[in-house]
Structures are given as structure tokens and as C-alpha cells.
Amino acid sequence: MSAPRTLFDKLWDSHEVLRRDDGASLLWVDRHLVHEGSHHAFGKLAARDLDLAAPALTFGVMDHYAPTRGAATDPAIVRMMETLRGNAKRHGFTCFDLGDPRQGIVHVIGPEQGLTLPGLLMVCGDSHTSTHGAFGAFAFGIGATEVAHVLATQTLWQRKPRRMRIRFEGGLAPGVGAKDMALHWISVLGTDGARGHAVEYAGPVVEALSMEGRLTLCNLSIEGGARCGLVAPDAVTFEYVRGRPFAPIGAAWDQALEDWAALASDLDARFDREIVVDAAEIAPIVTWGTAPDQALPITGVVPDGAPEALDYMGLRAGQRLVDIAVDQVFIGSCTNARIEDLRAAAAVLTGRKARVPGMVSAGSALVKAQAEGEGLDQVFVAAGLEWVGSGCSMCVGMNGDTVAPGKRCASTTNRNFRGRQGRGARTHLMSPAMAAAAAVTGHLTDVRPLLGGRL
């Protein structure tokens, strides 16, 4: 009898090709996602006249620099996009190009297309690749040198992280969701709280989340220092995957369901660290500083003890969070730009006017089309917000969508670092519903009184 194993142990064991004497393991990669910023890695291959080891397992996207309004005009950005197109043609891998009805943010279209499946090992040159772990996949971000290694060999050297489980017990209050869950545990444990660990999210609250909610939770794992985030696949997962363009069909589907059901952590599996969170204690969360763990319930006050963060953010200790005025809002990113996120924001905005300008960017062209089919775009436009194309947009500001210096943005993105949304930009992270509430009131706001049964 083999010892009980965690979900992560099972994923690791099934992808380990060999192990060196120093403990590093060579892992097989099932999906390699590349974007227009991956040109350095392709350059390394070209310099050595190497081909891709597995073009069928490589998928390109246009997202980080993708224009959300009109066409790209910056020569450097245009050149990066042309380079990705050229590499896709030369090496024969699929590229979801601008204008493709499937185009979008890599961590949105992977699940959407059925490229993300339980049991896979997935990598991308983007730190928020942990998002895909919501399906019970081992997914993590890699650097340019590692991208080149995967392109050339379809393998990657890694050291096995420790295992950690965060259980959410009880139930969430109305107006509280996955973004609040993630920011809550990060604020409690810190940005290094899960360093060196693969984090499995479990418990009845996680099991009750939709796939969109699980994706948000896993997306933010990296902000707490985790190597990856995971949720065991279950009926919710299987129903989401069923019928996706790249999902198994027929007999392969039946076999896949059997294999995926066996991935859950064994009953007696041991974790290196266990954390239990009472979900009933989680309130809508906003960040006040320049790191994701500098976050508090919206009912709180700005704390003392972080003078550099307070200075950059233009805040003072003791100031009520609800008294902080914002200059604009952004609803989008790989964290919160799926259809469920847009519906939540629209529910708050319906019949109301925004007091500050804002931008809404769907996570993919398909999400955008679905939102328009449901009339959500009209809700945003009627409220006074701008409805734009799909891409990473104002999350990283690489495409020109930025927050002006000194301006304050209520954002559904994943990082509030200095200059993340533009030089001198001040970012407050929150859920889509909370961002919509900030738009309506012009300041950080507890969304709960605005809901009135709308969600």
C-alpha cells in the first residue's frame, strides 16, 4: 500500500521524468502558454537554430500589450506582435491573434478553450499562471530562460515545494466573494506566508465556489508567496470543462473523468502546513498600501507603521477607508474579468451613475461577446464607464492604458505595487462589486448596503 498523497503529490509524481542527486526533478510539461513578451526565449532558440520540441502543446496569445482601443501604434509593440505571429508560423503552434474571436488574456482563454484540464502541468512566462490550478492542474509562472528550455525540450527542472492547505470553513456573507477570500488570507499570513509551498484550497466554501471564483482564488496565490494554487477537481470542474473546444470527447472523456476524480488528496494525506479560515469573519476587503497584504475590511481605518507606503499612497494613519476618494475605476484583468465578475459589477451599477470615470475590459473576446449579449455593456456605458476590448490593459499598463501620476484607482487587478498601473499611480485592489460601488460613490465604499438583493 502506498502512503496517502496530496493532490499536489499526485500531480508531481505523474510528471516527474527523473530526479537528480541534488533533489531537482525534470518535469514533463503538458501545456506551454506564450505571449508577445516571450520573444526573448524564441530568440534564444533562433540563436541555436533549434525547433520547438512539441508545437502541438504550445499556444500563443496576444494579451499583455494588446490594444483595447483601436490598433497598436507603438513600433516596439507592433514588432513584438509580429514576432509572435512569425514564430507561430515558423514553428507551427496555435496563436490566438488579435481579431481572432477567441483572443483574450492567457489565463482567461486557457480555461475557456479547454486547454486547461485537471491533472496537467502548465507553464507560462507570467507569474499569475497559478490561475489554472483551479482545475486541479499544476500551473506556475517561469522566467525567460525557462521558457526557452521548455520550448526546446518540453521539460523543466524544478525542486518540489512543500504542501500547504488552506481550508475555508463556514459560509460567506452576501457581498463577499473569492477576491475577498484571497486578500483576507494574504493580509493575515503576509506576502511571504506561503513561500515555498504549493497551496491547496479546500473546505465547504471553496467547494461552493463557481469555477470563476476558484480561478480568482488561485490567481492570487502568487501574491501570498505560493508556488502555485490548487483546487481539487469535482463535479463543478467537470461541468465547466465539458464541451470546451480542446476538451476530450467520447471514450476519452469518460476515461478522463475517471482519472480526474482520482486526483483529490487522499483522506489521510499529510500537509506540511494547515490553515483554517472562518469564512463568516471575512468582510469586503480593500488594499490601502503598496503590497497585497496591506489590506483590511472596508470598515477599517488606515493603520500606522508603514510610512513609505502611506507616503506613496497619500494617506494618513487613522483615516477611515470609506473616506478615501478615488479618481477612477478599472474592472478587468486575469483576476476578475470573467462573465461572473462583469455580472457582479453590473448588478451594482444598474440604474446608477458613476461619479468618476472608469474602464471595463472583458477577459476575452468571447466574454465580451457574451456580456454584450446579456446587455451588460449597456449597463456600464449608461453608468458612464468605458467599455473597451480584451487584454491585460490597465493591470500592467503595457498597452498605454494607465493611471496618471498621483491619481487613485479602485481596481479589480492583482497587484498594487508602486507604479504597477503607471508611474506614480495609486492602486486599491478589490472585488468587481466593490469597484462598481466605488464608481457610484466616488470613494472606497462598502458594497453591501448598495446590493439590496441585486446579487
Domain containing residue 185: CATH number: 3.40.1060.10
320 shares its domain with 421? yes
Cα separation of 331 and 263, whole Å?
A: 34
Give the whole-number percent of the chain exceeding pLDDT 90: 98
pLDDT at 1: 62
Confidence check: pLDDT of 299 > 70: yes
Q: Encode pLDDT of 55-113 as tens digits.
A: 999 999 999 999 999 899 999 999 999 999 999 999 999 999 999 999 999 999 999 99
At 409-447, the pLDDT tens digits run 999 999 999 999 999 999 999 999 999 999 999 999 999
- Positive or negative, the CA dihedral 391, 392, 394, 398 is negative
- How far is it, in rounded angstroms, from Cα 89 to Cα 161? 36
**Cell representation of residue 350:** 444598474
Last residue of a domain, one of 280, 307, 339: 280
Mean pLDDT of the chain: 97
The DSSP code sequence of 368-389 is HHHHHHTTHHHHHHHHT-EEE-
In this structure, is the dihedral angle defined by the CA atoms of residues 112, 118, 120 and 123, taken in order, positive or negative? positive
Residue 215 · residue 21 · CB < 8 Å: no
Same domain, 201 and 143: no
Q: What percent of the chain has pLDDT over 70?
A: 99
What confidence score (pLDDT) does residue 2 get? 82
pLDDT reported for residue 221: 98
209/130 same-domain check = no
Judge contact between 329 and 409, C-beta under 8 A.
yes
- Is there a single domain that holds both residue 312 and residue 360? yes
Domain assignment present for 254? no
pLDDT confidence of residue 122? 98
Which domain range does residue 338 map to?
285-451
**Does residue 340 form part of some domain?**
yes
Range 400-428 burial, b when 16+ CB lie within 10 A, else e: bbbbeeebbbbbbbbbbebebbbeebbbb
Q: Are 116 and 135 in contact (CB under 8 A)?
A: yes
**Is residue 366 pLDDT above 70, yes or no?**
yes
142 and 21 within one domain:
yes
Quick check: is 314 in a domain?
Answer: yes
Choosing from 280, 307, 336, the residue where a domain stops is: 280
Residue 118 lies in a domain: yes
240 within domain boundaries: no
Query: What was the pLDDT predicted at 292?
Result: 98
**pLDDT at residue 453, rounded to an integer:** 73
The answer to whether residue 60 sits within a structural domain is yes
In a domain, 386, yes or no: yes
Helix, strand or coil for residue 446? coil
pLDDT digits (tens, 9 = 90+) for 154-195: 999 999 999 999 999 999 999 999 999 999 999 999 999 999
Q: Tell whether 304 and 340 lie within a shared domain.
A: yes
For range 114-128, the mean pLDDT = 98
Q: Are residues 14 and 147 in the same domain?
A: yes
Claim to verify: residue 167 and residue 275 sit in the same structural domain: yes
Give domain status of residue 44, yes or no: yes
The CA distance from 409 to 331, in Å, is 10
Residues 98 and 184 grouped into a single domain: no
Q: In terms of domains, do 359 and 430 share one?
A: yes
pLDDT of 356 reads 98
The span from the CA of 108 to the CA of 378, in Å, is 22
On whether both 304 and 291 belong to a single domain, the answer is yes
**CATH number of the domain that 357 lies in?**
3.30.499.10
Q: How many domains does the chain have?
A: 3
Q: Is the pLDDT of residue 455 over 80?
A: no
Q: Quick check: pTM over 0.95?
A: yes
For cell 496565490, what's the residue?
Answer: 221
Looking at the fold, whether 26 and 123 belong to one and the same domain comes out as yes
Model pLDDT for residues 318-335, shown as the tens digit of each residue: 999 999 999 999 999 999
The per-residue pLDDT for range 367-390, each reduced to its tens digit, is 999 999 999 999 999 999 999 999
C-alpha count within 13 angstroms, C-beta hemisphere, residue 430: 35
